[in-house]
Structure 1
Amino acid sequence: MGYPEDVLAPDEQLVLHRHPHWKMLFLPIVTLIVATALAGFAGGLISRKAEGTTRSALLIAVLVVYLFILGWRCVAPVVSWKSTHFIITDRRVLVRQGVLTHTGIDIPMSRISSVQFRHGLFDRMLGTGTLIIESSSSEPLEYDDIPAVQQVHALLYHQVFEVERGHSGHSGRGGWDDHGGYR
């Protein structure tokens, strides 16, 4: 059983499960490449210029700085991306985030009064955007970097419409897969 199924009621059906768009991982990947190149260059320079214990101390310092940058700017964003879940079921919208501090919000379909999306030119090229959900009792909630935001918007609108009409919602015959297509 994967993560989304763990939080569902026994007769609740998963319609969509997404992580944020991969564009969130672009800067960590660039940081990994640049930091590795700089650490390799610094290590090579130190190996050629320094001797003895000075060389060892400087190489250890370069390694410590490299590992710190890797943990802070590469590993942490990837773990954050992997631990962020946007889930739509036939009854509610769930958002779960975090590893050490876990946060979540559930919005029942019957409470959703409006669903909107927003994406600029760059987001449209990447196939991502911001999903805006207004519920009947709070300010709009915005979820950035939702992959295939237009399809998610349409699916969520359909789910809300089905709940309003009194249908059971998702029939289990289809739904949006992780690649933006209908299955």
Structure 2
Amino acid sequence: MAYPDEVLVEGEQVVIHKHPHWKMLVLPVLVLLLVVAAGSFLAALVSAQSWAPWVWLVLGVVGLALIIRFTVVPVVRWRTTHFVVTNRRVLVREGVFTRQGIDIPMSRINSVQFRHTLLERLVGSGTLVIESASDEPLEFEDVPGVERVHAMLYSEVADEVP
């Protein structure tokens, strides 16, 4: 899915557009499977009782609430978080109802670093650290293909230098 062109300035082109790494979705999927399994087990336990339909209703409501809170919300948060590198800036946007974002012009970037643990190396993600003219370096966690993003961003910053 391409990043919306209406947020780009004239002549600006998207170089990289990524969502956070899929590892953020492992726990929500496990919660979904656990809630479905536990709900099914409990529903089967009470199926022979005369009051079973009321328990099924309660199990359904509780299960649905748990799935919305611990599966749907993280998936929507993941889907609405964007890490974008253009030929002029780095953009990060996140949020559904209240959006927040940061833009870093290429000309203000002093250095680009990355780090990743052994597990992150195995799944292909990591943390991208961008030092700009601001006081603190900005860290972007769970960037998929962080080494490739680092190289591409470094290339864009090097092209920007006169």
Provide the TM-score with structure 1 as the length reference: 0.85
How many percent of aligned residue pairs carry the same amino acid? 51
Distance 1:45 1:122 in 2: 40
- Report what 1:103 is aligned to: 100
1:69 aligns with 2:66: yes
- Report what 2:153 is aligned to: 156
> In structure 2, what residue type is equivalent to 1:12?
E
Provide the TM-score with structure 2 as the length reference: 0.96
User: Does structure 1 retain, via aligned residues, the 8 Å contact 2:91–2:104?
Assistant: yes
- Report what 2:56 is aligned to: 59
Distance 1:45 1:114 in 2: 60
Distance 2:130 2:14 in 1: 19
Distance 1:107 1:163 in 2: 13
Displacement of 1:10 in angstroms is: 2.1
Distance 1:68 1:137 in 2: 42
Displacement of 1:2 in angstroms is: 4.0
User: Does structure 1 retain, via aligned residues, the 8 Å contact 2:93–2:101?
Assistant: yes
- Report what 2:33 is aligned to: 33
1:92 aligns with 2:96: no
Displacement of 1:47 in angstroms is: 1.1
> In structure 2, what residue type is equivalent to 1:69?
L
Unaligned 5+ residue runs, structure 2? none
Unaligned 5+ residue runs, structure 1? 166-183
1:3-18 to 2 correspondence within 5 Å?
3-18=3-18
Distance 1:16 1:93 in 2: 9
Displacement of 1:97 in angstroms is: 0.1
- Report what 2:42 is aligned to: 42
2:139 to 142, 146, 158: 142
Displacement of 1:6 in angstroms is: 2.7
Q: Residue deviations 1:13-69, cap 9 Å, x none?
A: 110000011001111111111110111111111212x21xx3222111100110011
Distance 1:119 1:2 in 2: 27
> In structure 2, what residue type is equivalent to 1:40?
S
Name segments (4+ residues, structure 1) moved above 2 Å.
1-6
